[in-house]
Amino acid sequence: MANELTNPILSTRDLKKSFLGVTAVNGATFDVPRNLITALIGPNGAGKTTVVSLISGQIKADSGQVSIDGVDVSGWPAHRISQQGLMRTFQLSRELGGMTVLENLMVSARRQSGENLLNVFLRPGAVKKEEQALAERALEILNRYGLYHLRDSRAQALSGGQKKLLEISRAVIADPKILLLDEPMAGVNPALIEKIGEYIIDLRNGGMSILMIEHNLGIVEKICDNVIVLAEGRTLATGKMSELRENEEVVRAYLGEVINADNGR
């Protein structure tokens, strides 16, 4: 892991954020290695989602630094950070409900020529060709994630698990350098949890860097290469799940109940 972290895809340094005088993030500092799956875990209230929102620009930090691929993006708005190559999903899906599943993917792709009105009038042939290529790629992604048969369905009609898959699909079509997943397994049936885990591994094997918040520690241990533990808004420890189980501070803060439950079986 030391070698991967000499050139991390994402770094945070001393991130801090308070809401109405209550500290949510208190100096979170960590590195996310390239081309690996990193889990962000910790007890409820540890600040995990707030940290991800600070990184992705949905919330502005009170202080601290965020770097993506060596570029300091501290204080950048979300749309500019996404242009730097970071995409995120949300615990509660944010699909465009009135659009079809295919349309949701089409509008999520970055750097489309048709977004420039001049191109529509001056280069209509090129714009149409690009849209056709994008539609083919969108359909390939939908097929990969088991949503092809729902391509013409309204996104609002999907089940909870299907909406999770659509969230991932919308992020993937943007071709990010790093993908932030906020509890991708939450509220999903066990069979689909396994499939989502396989999809995430496939993304890593394809060269994508992934940071995911996840409470299912069995999945974390199964698919994640690296784990960051947050507690009370600060970084408590990093390492592999097997190593963290031996870390007394981590056990006291978070893993004690899990280990006791395992021993009681």
145 and 68 together in one domain: no
10 and 89 together in one domain: yes
pLDDT for 42-71, tens place per residue? 988 889 999 999 999 999 999 999 999 999
* Structural domain boundaries enclosing 230: 4-94+177-264
152 and 189 together in one domain: no
Structure tokens of 76? 């950048």
pLDDT for 112-166, tens place per residue? 544 444 444 445 555 567 678 888 889 999 999 999 999 899 989 998 889 989 9
Instruction: Give 108's pLDDT tier (boundaries 50, 70, 90).
Output: confident
The confidence score (pLDDT) of residue 7 equals: 86
59 and 14 together in one domain: yes
pLDDT for 17-31, tens place per residue? 999 989 999 999 999
- Domain total of the chain: 2
Residue 265 pLDDT exceeds 50: no
Neighbouring C-alpha atoms within 13 Å toward the C-beta of 44: 0
pLDDT for 62-100, tens place per residue? 999 999 999 999 999 999 999 999 999 887 777 877 889
88 and 127 together in one domain: no
106 and 66 together in one domain: no
226 and 205 together in one domain: yes
89 and 105 together in one domain: no
What's the chain's average pLDDT? 85
220 and 126 together in one domain: no
Give the global pTM. 0.84
User: What CATH code is carried by the domain that includes residue 252?
Assistant: 3.40.50.300
Residue 14 pLDDT exceeds 90: yes
90 and 187 together in one domain: yes
75 and 201 together in one domain: yes
Is position 165 within any domain? no
Q: Provide, rounded to the nearest whole percent, the portion of the chain with pLDDT above 90.
A: 52
188 and 239 together in one domain: yes
Query: What mean pLDDT comes out for the span 7-21?
Result: 94
Is position 167 within any domain? no
